[in-house]
Amino acid sequence: MSDPEMGWVPEPPTMTLGASRVELRVSCHGLLDRDTLTKPHPCVLLKLYSDEQWVEVRAAQVERTEVLRSCSSPVFSRVLALEYFFEEKQPLQFHVFDAEDGATSPRNDTFLGSTECTLGQIVSQTKVTKPLLLKNGKTAGKSTITIVAEEVS
């Protein structure tokens, strides 16, 4: 029965009990320019620590941002959506790549840096800015990543 006069209101989409939906917006500043001829074509890949391993997040099939052409300080428009569990530690990794033309996986792209934090840190602070680190653990120049969280009702 869907009669508004009877007081029936459609229910919102179902989620896991005790979870809230969080949208993450990502931007970077001062990315390294690994190619001397062009600026990077950055893309951010999101991974979640689950079952004792890092896995790509595939919530709603969005585990990475779009690729922005020739940009060393990108502001990505694609939102990364996750379920947030208040009392559960949810470690995240953000990997930034210079997407090569025609590349089908980040393994073929140039690694520009990564950072780790928990979803709880981002949600509690609303906005987190961290330095990007290279695979050897050193900072990637002055490169930073900023993640902004918004809880969706």
Number of domains making up the chain:
1
Tell me which residue range forms the domain holding 46: 20-143
What's the pLDDT tens digit per position in 84-137?
988 889 999 999 999 875 555 566 678 999 999 999 999 999 999 999 999 999
CATH of the domain at 131: 2.60.40.150
Is the residue at 152 inside a domain? no
Write down the pTM of the prediction: 0.80
The number of beta carbons lying within 10 Å of the beta carbon of residue 120 is 18
Inter-CA distances, 31 with 12, 51, 53, 136, Å:
40, 32, 27, 17
What's the pLDDT tens digit per position in 7-16?
544 444 444 5
Is the residue at 11 inside a domain? no
At residue 96, the 3 state secondary structure works out as strand
Is the residue at 13 inside a domain? no
